[in-house]
Amino acid sequence: MPTPFDITAPADLRQHAEGTGPLRSRHPVYLDMLPPCNHACPAGENIQAWLAHAQAGRYEEAWQEIMVNNPMPAIHGRVCYHPCEDGCNRTQIDNPVSIHAIERFLGDLALEKKWSPRFEAKPGGKRVLIIGAGPSGLSAAYHLTRLGHTVEIREAGPLAGGMMHFGIPAYRLPRNILHQEVERIEKMGVNIVLNHKVEDVLAEQTAGKFDAVFIAVGAHIGKKTGIPARDAGQVLDAVSYLRDVELGQAPKLGRRVAIYGGGNTAMDAARTAKRLGADEALIIYRRDREHMPAHDFEAGAALAEGVKIHWLRTIKEIDQTSFTVEVMRIENGRPVPTGEFETLEADALIMALGQDTDTGFLRQVPDIEFKDDGTVVVGHDMMTGHAGIFAGGDMVPSERTVTVAVGHGKKAARYIDAYLRGTVYIPAAKHPIVGFERLHMWYQTDAPQQAEPHLTPELAVQDFTEIMAGLTADEAQYEAQRCLSCGNCFECDGCYGACPEDAIIKLGPGKRYHFDYDRCTGCAVCFEQCPCHAIEMVPEGG
């Protein structure tokens, strides 16, 4: 038989148990929980915190908050596939907060205003060599500099940016934006040496007297496939093709261009071919749209620009400009041959079957281990099997996106800093995630998502002008105000106004509230009124 003080007692007994003093069975506490947007961000941004600044029009403070975790917001606001928005609780109401659009606005404003990141570097730093000036290497350099270390990046290519420069077309990422964000990192003191391919890591570490090395060489090699070809016409890999276009050396592909693959790179290659004058760009892919690796909105944009996609087709043979393709069907999510064949014509073929990373130069380093695909095995601290040599980005087993790579750079920097200082880096414990089912939406939430202006497909394919336009200040502030502040108090006064016992004390702007437990009866009205679940009811003594 439960006692009146047992939180698990039947409802009729609990009603009598809720009273002032010793009869109160539970009491409210303020708490902070983890919003799903923060949880989903591969770069580890405190999205809710910088959105709160943007809501109030404190744009530089919002940008500085982003810069604690991510050194390239103007880039990320354009190229990140925003998993934070997929997790946004607002999707249960209408549409997610357009987090990437607000981040882009803040990033662009910072470039316009020439803001600089605020930080105090710790003394006693060491020297760190970074190999590769892509998103992961640049991120690691930025964070190591903030931590007080001297950093040099050595890059094999002629430009910094890695696959951001050579893999993402200018219509998605204008080069002036990329250059300015890289330049800001250089101005912090990071030395970037271009056209310097590292062949012997240990020799360069010793010669440069570097105390640690972070390797992030990216995935710049297009994957091959063994398609029988009696007399193949022009065949290129997508990575080399996009790189040549970026360097002003675009090959002449003819009127009709075929692209083999179904990822985001295939979509970019096809859309680039259209901009370079191809009358027809057709993608050949062995799965259907539901099972393609490309993001659906990327395929939608390609189709809108006139790219044709032959779903459920795989190339079996090439004879000059004729392609024999077999029709496939999907069984249990996998493509299965049907025995039906078709012939397609194209003047050139671009292979977009994924990328590999060139890690062969690391084979001579003792104790470094590799996966079958050539990626490098690292521990939880991003360190390889060789002490003091760390790795991240596309060259380690992970999802290959700019934001994941930037997250790797930040994570590696923190562990490298601890390694160099002879300490142990222990990540802070995370609060529980607050889902939509925990929210109590008692106030008006009707606020449609602010649409981003963009070029019409007819105009977009004419050149490499950026397709999407940014939000205005008013639009960005409005969009930020759509945030529900999931899991964290935003001082709406809901609890303060609802408490029947006047047990809630306002502490002033930015200081939240305090419970007077001498007055509190544990009635839970405050808990039920809190829209963002920043209050929890806990058993007495808890």
Q: Identify whether 336 is part of a domain.
A: yes
Domain boundary among 311, 340, 355: 355
pLDDT at 228: 73
Q: 472: domain CATH number?
A: 1.10.1060.10
pLDDT in tens, 460-475: 999 999 999 999 999 9
Domain boundary among 323, 355, 387: 355
Same domain for 402 and 388: yes
Same domain for 514 and 466: no
Q: Identify whether 155 is part of a domain.
A: yes
Whether pLDDT at 542 is above 90: no
Same domain for 345 and 268: yes
Q: How many C-beta atoms surround the C-beta of residue 270 within 10 A?
A: 29
Q: Identify whether 4 is part of a domain.
A: no
Q: Identify whether 436 is part of a domain.
A: no
pLDDT in tens, 403-444: 999 999 999 999 999 999 999 999 999 999 999 999 998 877
pLDDT at 1: 31
pLDDT at 231: 62
Q: 517: domain CATH number?
A: 3.30.70.20
Residue 246: both structure tokens together: 């970026």
Tell me how far CA of residue 391 lies from CA of 80, 247, 355, 362, 421, in angstroms: 22, 28, 18, 11, 19
179 burial (CB, 10 Å; 0-12 / 13-18 / 19+) is: middle
The torsion defined by the Cα of 490, 493, 495 and 496, in degrees rounded to 10, comes to 140
Whether pLDDT at 209 is above 60: yes
pLDDT at 453: 92
Q: Identify whether 437 is part of a domain.
A: no
pLDDT at 22: 55
Q: Identify whether 475 is part of a domain.
A: yes
pLDDT at 225: 78
Name the domain count of the chain. Answer: 4
* Residue ranges making up the domain that contains 329: 224-355
Same domain for 253 and 325: yes
Whether pLDDT at 21 is above 60: no
Same domain for 415 and 473: no
Domain boundary among 355, 382, 407: 355
Q: 400: domain CATH number?
A: 3.50.50.60
Same domain for 301 and 389: no
The H-or-E segment that residue 323 falls in is strand 322-331
Same domain for 509 and 497: yes
* Percentage of the chain modeled with pLDDT above 90: 84
Of 266, 414, 282, residue with least CA distance to 348: 282
Same domain for 207 and 160: yes
Cα–Cα dist 8/439, whole Å: 23
Interval 43-53 mean pLDDT: 97
Same domain for 76 and 41: yes
Q: Identify whether 438 is part of a domain.
A: no
The amino acid at residue 472 is T
Q: How many C-beta atoms surround the C-beta of residue 442 within 10 A?
A: 13
Q: Identify whether 2 is part of a domain.
A: no
Same domain for 330 and 288: yes
Question: Quick one: CA dihedral 273, 276, 278, 280, positive or negative?
Answer: positive
Beta strand 504-506 with 513-515 is antiparallel
pLDDT in tens, 147-195: 999 999 999 999 999 999 999 999 999 999 999 999 999 999 999 999 9
Of 122, 176, 115, residue with least CA distance to 146: 122
Of 133, 155, 154, 142, residue with least CA distance to 208: 154
Same domain for 198 and 82: no
Q: How many C-beta atoms surround the C-beta of residue 435 within 10 A?
A: 15
Global pTM value: 0.91
Least confident residue range of 20-34, 158-172, 234-248, 331-345: 20-34
Same domain for 347 and 362: no
Cα–Cα dist 383/376, whole Å: 10
pLDDT in tens, 66-101: 999 999 999 999 999 999 999 999 999 999 999 999
Give me the chain's average pLDDT, please: 91
